[in-house]
Amino acid sequence: MAKKGSLSITSENIFPVIKKWLYSDHDIFYRELISNGCDAITKLKKLELMGEYEKPEDVEYKIQVSVNPNEKTITIRDNGLGMTEEEIDKYINQIAFSGVQDFMEKYKDKANEDQIIGHFGLGFYSAFMVADKVTIDSLSYQKDAKPVHWESEGGI
């Protein structure tokens, strides 16, 4: 008799795997997080080209990386499209649900898929290989959006 079921993955059983085995080189988290910033900027530029966003004249798209050795923190800041609380719930709280796939599906006729880096949705979680605590402070480009703060210690 064949039996069917669904897999249940929780942060408690997947984060040890991510922390130890996702990448052989733990410094890869820099590339992954900077790639996420690049994707956020690329998405916002696509929305601008499609007339769904108007970039203020004084804005220069950029990613900034700052290190504070005293506090033992690394901050990666971009001024891309940002996320709403609902998007953080969907794209961050659900491991490996790629926001890129959702974005590409919505704009498949208007966007060039080759320019989006992160297709698998795991890059963000590489930060947990090196950090005890990861925080996100985000403000969506959407009109009347409210800032969102998210944090997790040890991947749980």
**pLDDT > 90: percent of the chain:** 48
Domains of the chain (ranges plus CATH)? 33-53+61-153 (3.30.565.10)
pLDDT in tens, 41-76: 999 999 999 999 999 999 999 999 999 999 999 999
Neighbour tally for 144: CB within 10 Å: 5
Q: Distances in Å between the alpha carbon of 7 and those of 43, 113, 132? A: 32, 29, 27
Residues ≥6 apart with Cβ < 8 Å to 129: 18, 19, 20, 22, 23, 26, 29
pLDDT in tens, 18-43: 666 666 677 888 998 999 999 999 99
